[in-house]
Amino acid sequence: MDNLVYTWGLFQWFQESDKGLIHSDDVHNFQLQNSSVFYCRGIEDKYLVLQMGKYTVV
């Protein structure tokens, strides 16, 4: 995953996808922004830290 830090990408996730892929605190915000271009700011634990506009999700 380290090779994704400081890159841009289309990170798609759908409601029927594995909810374990997104931190439970961020599922709602990510659903609102799904299928958008995100900037990968870093890694926390086993999650990528993604940003789009004012939203940051882990």
- From first to last of its 58 residues, the chain has per-residue pLDDT tens of 788 899 998 877 666 777 777 788 877 777 666 567 888 999 998 888 888 776 666 5
The tokens describing 27, both together, are: 């599922």
Per-residue burial over 31-42, b if 16 or more Cβ lie within 10 Å, else e, is eebeeeebebee
Which pLDDT score, from 0 to 100, does residue 41 have? 92
pTM for this model (two decimals): 0.66
Considering only CA atoms, which of 2, 53, 5 is closest in space to residue 29? 53
Answer for the pair 4, 42: CB distance below 8 angstroms, yes or no. no
Work out how many domains the chain is built from and give that number. 1
Which pLDDT score, from 0 to 100, does residue 35 have? 64
- For residue 23, the enclosing domain spans 2-57
Which pLDDT score, from 0 to 100, does residue 12 have? 72
